Structure formats: structure tokens, C-alpha cells
Amino acid sequence: MNMMSVLWNLGSFILALGILIAVHEFGHFWVARRCGVYVERFSIGFGKSLWRKVGKDGTEYTLAMIPLGGYVKMLDERVDDVPADKKHMAFNNKPLWQRSAIVAAGPMANFIFAIFAYWVVYLIGIPAVRPIIGDVAPQSIAAEAGISSGMELKSISGIKTADWESANMAMISHIGDKEMVITVTEPNNDYEVQRTLNLSTWSFDPESERVLTTLGIAPYSPAITLSISQLVDGGAAIDAGFRLNDKIVAIDNTPITQWLEVVDAVRSHPEQALLFDLEREGQRVSVTLTPKLKKLANDELIGYAGFAPEVEAWPESYRINLQFGPIEAVGKATEKTWQLVTLTFGMVTKLVTGDVALKNLSGPISIAKGAGMTADYGLVYFLGFLALISVNLGIVNLLPLPVLDGGHLMYFAIEAVTRRPVSERVQDLGYRVGSAILVALMAVALFNDFTRL
């Protein structure tokens, strides 16, 4: 990864995190103000202040140096001495329902922001393709369930799958389950039928495998031709004399019918000469290509030619544009956000139960790479990424760990039952244990990030 890529990822990460932290903390801030709580400081980031301003409301608004969180400091007798004339504005003196609402407002703001982000995405429109199955591997889980080429996925366990992104997310949510019920239509037929996939033997590693491949499903894609459409400057193909639109006919006198055969021949012959027979402007010509040596991340050595084939266009009937009017987009955005909430909650639950391994946890480095990649693709993709991370942030903050919003809500729930606040000693112990668990999880996530570099 070059320096420019690192800087781009870092900048995108800071922008994304800053937006999501501001949204989360504004949720606490807005509801606190509506409940009559005096807010002393609204801070985005921790540490030394880079910018600060005191508003007419008396609140200090701060942008701090470390952009890994934020906080809303409210008047509270448990923290500072509060003048008698301001006691009614202290957080601890508010009714239980108001304190609960203030704490819950942060995660709720994250969910609302996700709906807003998807609403904008659906207003702008995002190109996609219908989830039509191309091939099914013999004896695979999909094949045994009666899935065949040409079928279109309509829903998975009740979740509608308008495109492959939705289908992938719905399938991933079934990690650790015994079965998956999918609804499909037959080729050239709108009649929907259900198929049940037996997942008892399913093995899936999200970090190294594609969920579709492990089930034996290959999405439909346009045919890859044998004609050259791209040549890399300084690559082995240009050195050998390849030209655009050349059609590969044979390699070492062996007829070629599929592009995969070209890939296999090049990869398996690093720094070894190969004789290519080409069709060029109606004439047959021969060139000698010596693939350059390329080292992969796993230290495997392969050949690299520096050319790419022409791919046939997608049939128009397979292409869709997920674009809706202002009213309809609200429903679609809400539906999408709810799918993310249920998927994320399900994955967190499976992490706790052990159905999903801790090695699948991702930390700030993975988030930074995702932010940079989606920002590079364009606004709609970056907004979709923000929505995904916002939902994750909301769910994580609702976990019943005392250092998180969910821990405070847990204490409030106990208070509602016992009619008295949880003792300071118990709360302090809970904060220590919760902090230790959170630090351990962050350490695991960071370790996973570094192993993926």
C-alpha cells in the first residue's frame, strides 16, 4: 500500500468517524436539552482542543485532537458540585425515563442517520444487477437443495434480495444456522418457489472466502471473450508485441476456448516463454510472451502478462437502478437499515455464542480501508458505508457493558425494578470489568487488522 493510499484511507476514515461521532453525540445532546439538562461541553474527539467556541446557551463546543470518540458533558451532582439554582438542570435529578431517553438517544441517532444516508442513496440511485444464478457447483449445498443455473434469488429467510449485495448480506447472517430458506424464480418464469439449503456441513470464513462460493453458487456474469481490450504499460504483453483487439487462438500450439485457460497458462509459467497464436485484423500471427514474475501476499510466485480481455455487455434486462422518489425512498431506506440492524445484532450474538470466530472482528484499520475504498468509488458508495458503520456503532453502544450506553440502560432497568439506583460501588466495579472487556475486544480487532495487512 503506497503512501498516497494510506493518506487517502486515513482522511476518509477521519471524515467518516467524525460524522458518525457527531451524529451519535448530537443524539445525546439534543434529547438532554429537550429534557432540561444543562450541557457543559459537546466534544468531538478527545485530548487537546484544536477548536472551541462557547455558544449563547453556555455550552462549550470543542473539536479535539484524537478523533476516536466524543462526549457530551452534562451537569451532574455525582461528578461536580452543582449550585442550588441549577440542581434542577442536573442529569442525576431527572426522572428515570428522561435519563434513559438521553442515554438511548445516541444509538437511536445512529440508526436514524443510517436511514437518512440510504434515503439519499436511493434518491440519487445506485446501479446494480439482478441476483441471477450463473452456475451451480455439482454436489454443492446449493445443488443438493435444487438450485440451478438461471434462477433468480427473490428473498432469503423473508429478506428481499433485489441485488447481490442484499443477497450476500442475508446469506452471511446465516453463519452458524442449520438451514437457510430461499425463494427463487425459474428461468423466464415469475412463479416463486422455495428451496431449503442444509447448512449442517457449511464452512465459511468471511475473511478468505466468498459466501456464494462456499454454497456452490456463481452469479451470472457476461461472457469473457478471448479478445484483448487492455494492455498495461511496461507489461510483458506489450513487450511481446500484443495489440488491442488481438484474439488469442492458441498457446504453445494448444487451441484456446476459454479465458481461464489463458490465465492458467500465464500464472503457471513465470519467466518462461510461451508461444501465442493470435488473430489480428483477419490474419494469424505468432508472438512469444514471457510472463513477468509476481509475488502474492502469501509468497506464492506467479506469472503476470499485463493484459485484460474484453467482456460482453450485460443484458439490459439484468441491469437495474435502485432509484426511488422521496416518499418511496424513505420506506426502502428504513427497510434496508432494519436489515442491517438485524444482521449486525445476529452477528454480535453469534460472536458471544461462538458461532462466529473472534478472528472475524474488524478494527479501525479495516474500517479505514473500507472508508477509503468506498470514497474512491463515489458518494453513494461512501454513504452506504457510513450507514453500515453507523448501524454497527449503534448496536455496539447498546451492548450491556457499563462503559457503553447499553450498560447505563442496564443500570436504569435495574433501578426501575428495585426502585433505587445501583450503588456506586457496584457501578464502579462494572465500569472496570466493562473497560477490560472492551479493551480486550479492541486488542483482538487490532490484531486481526494487522494480520490482514
As annotated, the active-site residues are 25
Strand segments, DSSP code E, in 186-316 are 192-198, 217-219, 224-231, 247-251, 254-255, 274-280, 283-289, 292-295, 301-304, 307-311
Task: Supply the angle between the helices 379-397 and 326-353 in degrees, to the nearest 10.
Answer: 50
Helices (H), 35-126: 96-124
Neighbours of 410 (CB within 10 A): 18
- Residue 214 CB partners (closer than 8 Å, separation 6+): 141, 202, 203, 204
Q: In the beta sheet, which residues pair with residue 292?
A: 304
Whether 39 contacts 32, CB under 8 Å = yes
- Residue 90 CB partners (closer than 8 Å, separation 6+): 37, 38, 74, 75, 76, 77, 82
Residue 86, all three cell numbers = 441549577
Whether 365 contacts 453, CB under 8 Å = yes
DSSP for residue 63: E
Q: In the beta sheet, which residues pair with residue 12?
A: none
> 299-321: buried (b, 16+ CB within 10 Å) or exposed (e) per residue?
eeebbbbbbebbeeeeeeeeeee
C-alpha distances out from residue 302 to 32, 72, 251, Å: 60, 54, 17
Backbone angles phi, psi at 158, to 5 degrees: 90, -10
Residue showing cell 463546543: 61
Residue 65, classed as helix, strand or coil, is strand
Which of 229, 219, 231 has the alpha carbon at shortest distance from 133? Answer: 219
Number of H helices, E strands in the chain: 12, 18
Q: Strand 283-289 vs strand 274-280: parallel, antiparallel, or unpaired?
A: antiparallel
